[in-house]
Amino acid sequence: MHDEFPLDPELCHLNHAAVGPWPRRTAEAVSRFAEENARWGSLAYPQWLAVEQRLRERLARLIGAVSPDEIALAKNTSEALSVIAHGIDWRPGQTVVGIAQEFPSNRIVWESLASLGVTWRGLDLDASADPEADLIAMCDGNTRLLAVSWVQYASGRRLDLERLGAHCRAHGILFCVDAIQGLGALPCDVRRFQADFMVADGHKWLLGPEGLALLYVRPELRDTLTLRQFGWHMVEQVGDFDRTDWSPARSARRFECGSPNLLGTHALEASLSLIEEIGMDRIWSRLQERTAHLIASIEGRGFELMTPADPGLRAGIISFRIPGIPAEPLYRELMQRKVLCACRGGGIRFSPHFYTPVAMIDRAMEILDETLASRGSG
Ligand SMILES: Cc1ncc(COP(=O)(O)O)c(C=O)c1O
């Protein structure tokens, strides 16, 4: 498996919650695609479309959708969320319930509905002992939609989607899940979660490139979303350029207005082939070993864990603070010493993946120790 991750030995890559590295096979697929374009142009376009179809099939299997027809490919998570938010037939006075500390895309898109008389209300996660219960309690007769990230980008808190989804379905509330911080880290089952919408870009735990995202809409709801983007590619009669009458594609392709991102498609398809080969159960169990090890190192040093220690309440993100030390300068020093990580929510965020050598985690912690020691003496 190490062959698939030819990371420079100098680098400690603990940043899958930001942008993951490409597996070797992904880099090779992109090189092949580039070479083919340079030599043969688009002669093999039908084969490229076959790769795209394989990508939809892999994404459908990954999330537990019934058919690849349920999968649309968007530019990114934010675009996918916008398709949903601006496709719903809102009525003034309706509310969206979410989380105050969400990644901005998950708040801004719902706030953008204010001109339609729709209000977004965010739960203060820091003040909640039972976020699922509190989110459910915030939903009332005016709540049209509950929108959450599966895993919070800063704290790493994982939500019980099954519990939220069951409540939403029972009360006629739409349930929208931003799965970007979970998909590829742990097994997903969109139907068990009873999610109406699921979105995720491919460049984090899925180890793909930026610029290509999953947009899942529960098939029963597909027709109810008003389309806001139009073009040759979203029609049922795609490719019949002489035809003047048209209707939206019956499949989720109706959400894709123009030319596909086939470069990204080749890359993400290759990345997902690796994920499928290894299997999500195995990936998840290996990732849990690494996060448990990381937590033990953090707690052993007396640092303050921002992520819940309970394995049921987290995924691959582990964030922590060092009492009395501001995170931002520490983060900059870590990055300078090639510990690729992030500064989020006032702490340091480490996000290893299933293949991360435990020795790499140990080295990052040693570099952190050295950084702290040199600050103390400097
Ligand atoms: C929860 C969450 N949603 C979305 C994104 C990224 O959105 P996009 O794919 O639109 O760039 C991130 C990136 O950090 C994220 O953490």
In this predicted structure, what is the pLDDT of residue 377?
53
Which residues does the chain have with pLDDT short of 50? Answer: 378
Does the Cβ of 351 fall within 6 Å of ligand 1?
A: no
Does the Cβ of 213 fall within 6 Å of ligand 1?
A: yes
Residue type, 42: S
pTM over 0.95: yes
In this predicted structure, what is the pLDDT of residue 1?
62
Measuring from atom 14 of ligand 1, which residue has the nearest CA? 18
* CA 155 – ligand 1 centroid, Å: 14
Q: For residue 181, what are the contacts with CB-CB under 8 A and spacing of at least 6?
A: 17, 149, 150, 151, 152, 153, 156, 204, 205, 315, 316, 317
Does the Cβ of 70 fall within 6 Å of ligand 1?
A: no
Does the Cβ of 153 fall within 6 Å of ligand 1?
A: yes
Distance between CA atoms of residues 96 and 298, nearest Å? 37
In this predicted structure, what is the pLDDT of residue 9?
95
* CA 169 – ligand 1 centroid, Å: 25
Does the Cβ of 103 fall within 6 Å of ligand 1?
A: yes
The residue among 172, 176, 166 whose CA lies nearest residue 217 is 176
Does the Cβ of 78 fall within 6 Å of ligand 1?
A: yes
Residue type, 77: T
Tokens of 33: 């695609």
Measuring from atom 7 of ligand 1, which residue has the nearest CA? 77
Distance between CA atoms of residues 199 and 180, nearest Å? 7
Does the Cβ of 174 fall within 6 Å of ligand 1?
A: no
Measuring from atom 16 of ligand 1, which residue has the nearest CA? 153
* CA 301 – ligand 1 centroid, Å: 31
* CA 3 – ligand 1 centroid, Å: 28
Q: Which residue reads 């987290």 in tokens?
A: 314
Measuring from atom 4 of ligand 1, which residue has the nearest CA? 77
Q: Which atom of ligand 1 is nearest to the CA of 102?
A: 1
| 3-state DSSP assignment of residue 317 | coil
The residue among 217, 283, 288 whose CA lies nearest residue 249 is 217
The domains located in the chain, with CATH, are 2-23+279-374 (3.90.1150.10), 26-277 (3.40.640.10)
Does the Cβ of 105 fall within 6 Å of ligand 1?
A: yes
Measuring from atom 2 of ligand 1, which residue has the nearest CA? 103
In this predicted structure, what is the pLDDT of residue 327?
96
* CA 105 – ligand 1 centroid, Å: 7
Q: Are strands 318-321 and 304-305 parallel, antiparallel or unpaired?
A: antiparallel
In this predicted structure, what is the pLDDT of residue 375?
81
Measuring from atom 6 of ligand 1, which residue has the nearest CA? 77
